[in-house]
Structure 1
């Protein structure tokens, strides 16, 4: 049994003009100790998928269909009280901005001790000792001193390490990291991602990494999920997707990476932009931006087709499988270093 199994998940938001679907038929699994990347542009539905797992979708949003099985239990049907025993305990989340996550008027120690005591019957002294050990694990220097400091006394990289330490406090089996390095400079980003990778490996913790950067996904994850307009359009082993992308959108994301461009030339980009949830095109949502669009793409939603170890929702890929001579294939990209 998979650690996490998401089946046919749908999330809708009620608006005055009517309900719009932010997620449509989203299905994927995460095994114990597995690292999974969810990638796509802003508005693809990545964060909504993450919040849905923890049942953090607030009104007017709601889960309208599907199931989220965590260790065999459907999280979509649990009450807020039942979910509180899972959030931060069995499943931890690392948010984008550490200053929005940490309480500025409490010391790090107060916040970490409070988190431990909310889930365990433990003395303040024991909780403080565990907190110091977790700070040491995330390579915070002089943790015995740092634990009594306030968030504003730390750098951005240090604050993000604190957030990771808090996520590890209760030894979760799954961590969801939502753009964990967005606000950090490039060198600190690399340090944080390496730290997260090592901690997951050493503790056999599953990781869902949400990002817009396929370069990060290629270095950290074992499986990649590509989303567009609230739907998964390609998923499979990360190495296979990076080196032989099948969906034109995935290919566009790879071609937009800086290392895919000749120095001195303009970066490649996908023309157009992500459609609004209120105006998703008929058929394949990517068809207005696709260089390989066919008539069928504009009228019918593509079903998933197996291509190697990947599943791809693309009419062109399906047509290539049925009759390779009549369809122009997507060019394979060079291997991303």
Structure 2
């Protein structure tokens, strides 16, 4: 049995014009110690999916359908008290901006100790000892000194390491990292991602990495999910998706990487923009931006087609597979 299994998840937001679905028919699984990447442009639904796993969707949003099974329990059915035992304890979340996560008027130590005492019956002295140990794990220099400093006294990379240390405080089974390196420069980004992989491997912690960068996903994760307009359009082993992307949208994301462009020329980009939730096109949501659009794409939502070890929601892929099977039968 998988550590985390999401089945047909739907998340809706109630607006004056009527309810809109931010997530539609989301299904995937995550094993203990496995690293999964959620990829897509802004507005694809990646962060909403991360928040919904912990039922952190703010009103007027709500989980309107599906199941989220974690270690034998459906998180969508748990009470607020039962969810508090899971959040931060068994499943931790690392947010984009550490300065928004950390309290500026409390020292690092006060925040870490408070977190530990909220979940465990432990003395302040023991909590401080554990906090220092976690700071050492994320390679914070002079942790005995840093623990008594305030967030503004630390660099951006140091603050992000602190946030990771707080995420590791309770020895969680899963860490959900929402764009954890957005505010950092390139060299620090690489260090933080290497650190997260090392910590997950060492502690057998599963990781859900939310990002828009397929380059990062290719280096860090074992499985990948590509999202568009609130739906999974391709998922499977990361190497297979990177080396042989099937969906036109995934191909567009790959071609948009800087290393895919010819030096001195403009970077490649996908034309158009992500549709708003209120105006998702009929059929395949990507059809207004797709170079391979067919008549069927504008009328019917594509189902999932198996391609190697991947699943792809694309009429073109399904048509190509059908023709390949017919030619094989004729031979």
With structure 1 as the length reference, what TM-score do the two structures score? Answer: 0.96
Which residue matches 2:241?
A: 241
Which residue matches 2:270?
A: 270
In structure 2, C-alpha distance between the alignment counterparts of 1:33 and 1:263, rounded to whole Å: 39
Deviations 1:239-265 (A, max 9, x none): 000000000000000000011111111
Which residue matches 1:158?
A: 158
Q: Does 1:121 align with 2:128?
A: no
Q: Does 1:214 align with 2:214?
A: yes
In structure 2, C-alpha distance between the alignment counterparts of 1:78 and 1:115, rounded to whole Å: 21
In structure 1, C-alpha distance between the alignment counterparts of 2:135 and 2:103, rounded to whole Å: 17
- Aligned-residue Cα RMSD (Å) equals 0.9
In structure 2, C-alpha distance between the alignment counterparts of 1:99 and 1:236, rounded to whole Å: 34
Which residue matches 2:329?
A: none
Structure 2 gaps of 5+ residues are 327-331
In structure 2, C-alpha distance between the alignment counterparts of 1:318 and 1:273, rounded to whole Å: 25
Q: Does 1:110 align with 2:110?
A: yes
Which residue matches 1:5?
A: 5
Instruction: State the shift of 1:80 in Å.
Output: 1.1
User: What SS does structure 2 have at the residue aligned with 1:199?
Assistant: helix
Which residue matches 1:331?
A: none
Displaced runs of 4 or more, over 6 A: none
In structure 2, C-alpha distance between the alignment counterparts of 1:84 and 1:324, rounded to whole Å: 51
In structure 1, C-alpha distance between the alignment counterparts of 2:324 and 2:186, rounded to whole Å: 42
With structure 2 as the length reference, what TM-score do the two structures score? Answer: 0.98
Which residue matches 2:177?
A: 177
1:249-268 aligned within 5 A: 249-268=249-268
1:37-56 aligned within 5 A: 37-56=37-56
Instruction: State the shift of 1:324 in Å.
Output: 3.9
In structure 1, C-alpha distance between the alignment counterparts of 2:325 and 2:63, rounded to whole Å: 43
1:293-304 aligned within 5 A: 293-304=293-304
In structure 2, C-alpha distance between the alignment counterparts of 1:7 and 1:321, rounded to whole Å: 26
In structure 2, C-alpha distance between the alignment counterparts of 1:138 and 1:260, rounded to whole Å: 33
In structure 1, C-alpha distance between the alignment counterparts of 2:321 and 2:287, rounded to whole Å: 20
User: What SS does structure 1 have at the residue aligned with 2:19?
Assistant: strand
Instruction: State the shift of 1:79 in Å.
Output: 1.2
In structure 2, C-alpha distance between the alignment counterparts of 1:72 and 1:263, rounded to whole Å: 51
In structure 2, C-alpha distance between the alignment counterparts of 1:97 and 1:218, rounded to whole Å: 23
In structure 2, C-alpha distance between the alignment counterparts of 1:263 and 1:80, rounded to whole Å: 53
User: What SS does structure 2 have at the residue aligned with 1:300?
Assistant: coil
Structure 1 gaps of 5+ residues are 327-337
Instruction: State the shift of 1:58 in Å.
Output: 1.2
Residue-pair matches, total: 326
